[in-house]
C-alpha cells in the first residue's frame, strides 16, 4: 500500500539545510545509511528508527571508497525506483531519501592513481578494476580524496583482513553522512557486526553527538540473512548457503549445551560450509565488544563468518550469550 512519498535530496548542502531547519523546529532525526536495493533488513532499521525520532532520513549511496578494484562495485545491484516504492509502503514512511551522485570531491587535485595498497590500479597485482580504465577506477573509488577515518584496531580482523580498504571507506563515508545529515540517531544492522562496532567506536572516539543503534538481523523464512547481494545467488547456491545459518545455529546449541571450546565449534561450522560447497573466508568466535578472538566461551561472544558461494561473498553471525 503506497503511503507518503519521501522528498528526494541529491545535494549535500540542501540536505544539511533541511536537517538544520527541522532541528531548529525541535524535531529529532534518525538516519538509516544504505547502499540501496532495499529489503526487509533495511526496512526493519527504519521501523526501529521510527521508535526513536520524529523524522527519518534514508541515505542511498553505493560508496566507491569501500570497494577495492577487484570487488563488486560494478555489479552491485540497484533499483532506485523500486526502493522508493518500498519506502512508501513503510508504516509512518520516510521523510527524506538522501541520494547523492558522488560524495567525494576531486576539485582540488587530480586523482592520484594510487590505490589503498599503495599500488597503481593497473598493476596492483590483485586484478584489474572491473569497470573501466585506470583513471576511472581511481575516480570512481574515491581515491583522489585523501582524508580517511580509520578505527585502527577494530578494523584489522575478520572482514578487514580480506577487504583491506573496506572499513576505512565505511568509516569515512559514515562520517561524511553524519556531518551532512547531522542526525540524532543512526541505525546499523548487526548483520554487519564488525561495521556496527566500528561505527560505535568511531562515534565515541570522535565525540559525535549521535546515538548509534544496532538492530537485529532479519532473515528470510529459510534462515538466510537478507542481503542485497543474495540476488546474485543461483537457486542452488542459495540452498548451499543455508549451511551458514544452520551450522551457526548448531554451534550455538552446542555451546549452550556445554561445548565452549572455540576450535571445536569453529570446526563444526567450517566443515558444514565446506561440505555444502562454500569457501570459507573466515569463521571466528570473538568477544562482542572488542572483537578479539576467544579460545573458550566464558562471556558473551559472537560467531562471525564470511564465505563465498560462487562469486558471492556472504557474511553472517550469531551472538552467543552464555557466561561461565
Ligand atoms: P547495506 O545496504 O547492505 O550497506 O546495508 C545498510 C544497512 O542495513 C547496514 O547497517 C546493514 O547492516 C543493514 N542490514 C543489511 N542487511 C540486513 C539484515 N538482513 N538485517 C538487518 N540489517 C541489515
Task: For 46-97, write each residue's pLDDT tens digit.
Answer: 999 999 999 999 999 999 999 888 888 989 999 999 999 999 999 999 999 9
- Count Cα neighbours of 9 within 13 Å in the Cβ-side half-sphere: 21
User: 178 C-alpha to center of ligand 1: Å?
Assistant: 17
CA 175 to chain CA centroid, nearest Å:
14
Q: Per DSSP, what are the bridge partners of residue 60?
A: 34
Neighbours of 126 (CB within 10 A): 14
Summarised one tens digit per residue, pLDDT across range 28-57 is 999 999 999 999 999 999 999 999 999 999
Helix ranges (H only) for the chain are 12-24, 40-50, 80-88, 134-140, 159-162, 166-181, 193-205, 235-256, 262-275
The more confident residue out of 133 and 19 is 19
Residue 1 lies in a domain: no
Which of the following is catalytic: 39, 42, 50, 99?
42
User: Is there a single domain that holds both residue 19 and residue 164?
Assistant: yes
CATH of the domain at 184: 3.40.50.620
**Which is the closest atom of ligand 1 to the Cα of 195?**
12
Q: Exposed, middle or buried: residue 193 (CB in 10 Å: 0-12, 13-18, 19+)?
A: buried
Asked if residue 223 is part of any domain, the answer here is no
Indicate the pairing of strand 279-287 with strand 211-215: unpaired
How far apart are the CA of 19 and the centre of ligand 1, in A? 23
Last residue of a domain, one of 215, 240, 269: 215
Residue 44 Cα to ligand 1 midpoint, Å, equals 9
Residue 2 lies in a domain: no
Domain end (from 160, 191, 215): 215
Distance (angstroms) between ligand 1 centre and the Cα of 42 equals 5
Mean per-residue pLDDT over the chain, rounded: 90
- Do 186 and 82 have their domain in common? yes
Where residue 306 sits, what CATH number does that domain have? 3.30.1300.10
Residue 122, phi then psi, degrees to nearest 5: -65, -35
Residue 107 binned pLDDT confidence (cut-offs 50, 70, 90):
low
Query: Is the per-residue pLDDT at 115 higher than 60?
Result: no
Report the residue among 38, 41, 56, 244 best suited for mutation to probe ligand 1: largest number of ligand atoms under 8 A from its CB.
Answer: 41
What residue's CA is closest to ligand 1, atom 10?
188
Q: Is residue 324 part of a domain?
A: no
**Residue 140 pLDDT > 70:** no
Judgement on whether residues 263 and 292 belong to the same structural domain of the protein: yes
Task: Give the residue, out of 31, 38, 42, with the most ligand 1 atoms within 8 A of its beta carbon, to mutate for a pocket test.
Answer: 42
Answer for the pair 11, 100: CB distance below 8 angstroms, yes or no: yes
Integer Rg of the chain from CA: 20
- Is position 108 within any domain? yes
Question: Which domain-ending residue is among 168, 190, 215?
Answer: 215
Q: Within 6 Å (CB) of ligand 1, which residues are found?
A: 34-35, 41-42, 44-45, 188-189, 191-192, 215, 217-218, 225-228
Whether 235 and 152 share a structural domain: no
Q: What is the pLDDT of residues 288-322, one digit of tens each?
A: 999 999 999 999 999 999 999 999 999 999 999 98
Distance separating alpha carbons of residues 183 and 20, to the nearest angstrom: 10
**Probe target for ligand 1 pocket from 78, 189, 196, with the most ligand atoms within 8 Å of CB:** 189
Q: Provide the number of structural domains found in the chain.
A: 2
Which of residues 111 and 162 earns the better pLDDT score? 162
**192 inside domain:** yes
CA angle 82, 84, 88 (to 5 degrees): 120
- Assess whether 169 and 283 both reside in one domain: no
In a shared domain, residues 90 and 164:
yes
Residue 306 lies in a domain: yes
Cα 47 versus chain centre, distance? 18
Counting from 1 in the atom list of ligand 1, the atom nearest the Cα of 225 is: 19
Q: Indicate which atom in ligand 1 lies nearest the CA of residue 219.
A: 19
CA 49 / ligand 1 centre spacing (Å): 14
170 & 24 share domain:
yes
The answer to whether residue 131 scores a pLDDT higher than 60 is no
CB-based burial of residue 164 (10 Å sphere; 0-12 exposed, 13-18 middle, 19+ buried)? middle
Range of the domain at 186: 7-215
Cα–Cα distance, 270 to 247 (Å, whole number): 8
Question: Would the pTM count as exceeding 0.85?
Answer: yes
Confidence of residue 110 (pLDDT cuts 50, 70, 90): very low
With the most atoms of ligand 1 within 8 angstroms of its CB, the residue from 34, 99, 229 to mutate is 34
Query: Are 96 and 195 found together in one domain?
Result: yes
- Residues with Cβ within 8 Å of 104's Cβ and at least 6 positions away in sequence, in order, are 64, 65, 142, 144, 145
120 and 150 share one domain:
yes
Cα torsion angle, 179, 183, 185, 186, sign: negative
The SS3 assignment for 43 reads helix
Query: Is residue 251 located within the same domain as residue 194?
Result: no
Statement: residue 130 has pLDDT above 60? no
The residue with cell 598493476 is 123
Handedness of CA 83, 181, 151, 111 (dihedral sign): positive
Q: Are residues 16 and 41 in the same domain?
A: yes
Q: Are residues 141 and 255 in the same domain?
A: no
Ligand 1 centre and the CA of 316: distance in Å?
A: 11
pLDDT band of 182, cuts 50, 70, 90: very high
- For 219-244, write each residue's pLDDT tens digit: 999 999 999 999 999 999 999 999 99
The verdict on residue 221 lying in a domain is no
Instruction: Report which protein residue has its CA nearest ligand 1's atom 22.
Output: 189
d(CA 13, CA 61): 16
How many CB atoms neighbour CB 279 within 10 A?
12
Q: Is 145 a catalytic residue?
A: no
Q: Ligand 1 centroid to 41 CA: how many Å?
A: 6
* Those residues with Cβ within 8 angstroms of residue 133's Cβ, 6 or more apart along the chain or in another chain: none
pLDDT at position 11: 97
Amino acid at each position: 500500500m503506497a503511503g507518503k512519498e519521501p522528498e528526494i535530496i541529491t545535494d549535500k548542502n540542501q540536505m544539511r539545510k533541511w536537517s538544520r531547519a527541522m532541528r531548529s523546529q525541535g524535531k529529532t532525526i534518525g538516519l538509516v545509511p544504505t547502499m540501496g536495493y532495499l529489503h526487509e533488513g533495511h526496512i526493519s532499521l527504519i521501523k526501529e528508527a521510527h521508535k526513536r525520532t520524529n523524522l527519518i532520513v534514508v541515505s542511498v549511496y553505493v560508496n566507491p571508497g569501500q570497494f577495492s578494484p577487484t570487488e563488486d562495485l560494478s555489479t552491485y545491484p540497484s533499483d532506485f525506483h523500486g526502493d522508493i516504492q518500498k519506502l512508501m509502503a513503510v508504516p509512518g514512511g520516510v521523510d527524506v531519501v538522501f541520494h547523492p551522485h558522488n560524495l567525494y570531491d576531486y576539485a582540488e587535485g587530480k586523482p592520484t592513481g594510487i590505490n589503498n595498497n599503495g599500488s597503481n590500479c593497473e598493476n596492483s597485482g590483485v586484478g584489474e578494476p572491473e569497470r573501466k580504465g585506470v583513471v576511472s577506477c581511481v575516480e570512481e573509488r574515491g581515491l583522489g580524496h585523501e582524508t580517511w577515518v580509520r578505527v585502527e584496531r577494530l578494523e584489522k580482523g575478520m572482514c578487514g583482513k580480506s577487504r583491506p580498504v573496506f572499513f576505512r571507506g565505511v568509516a569515512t563515508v559514515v562520517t561524511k553522512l553524519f556531518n551532512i545529515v547531522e542526525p540524532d540517531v543512526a541505525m546499523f544492522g548487526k548483520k554487519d557486526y564488525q561495521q556496527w562496532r566500528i561505527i560505535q567506536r568511531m562515534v565515541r572516539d570522535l565525540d559525535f553527538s549521535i546515538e548509534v543503534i544496532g538492530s537485529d538481523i532479519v532473515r528470510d523464512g529459510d534462515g538466510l540473512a537478507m542481503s542485497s547481494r543474495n540476488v546474485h545467488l543461483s537457486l542452488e547456491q542459495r540452498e548451499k548457503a543455508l549451511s551458514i545459518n544452520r551450522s551457526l545455529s548448531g554451534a550455538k546449541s552446542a555451546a549452550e549445551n556445554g561445548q565452549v571450546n572455540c576450535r571445536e565449534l569453529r570446526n563444526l561450522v567450517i566443515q558444514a560450509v565446506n561440505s555444502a560447497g562454500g569457501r570459507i573466508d573466515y569463521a571466528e568466535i570473538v568477544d562482542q565488544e572488542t572483537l578479539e578472538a576467544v579460545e573458550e566461551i566464558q562471556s558473551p561472544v559472537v560467531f562471525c563468518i564470511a564465505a563465498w558461494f560462487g562469486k558471492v561473498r556472504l557474511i553472517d553471525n550469531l551472538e552467543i550469550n552464555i557466561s561461565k
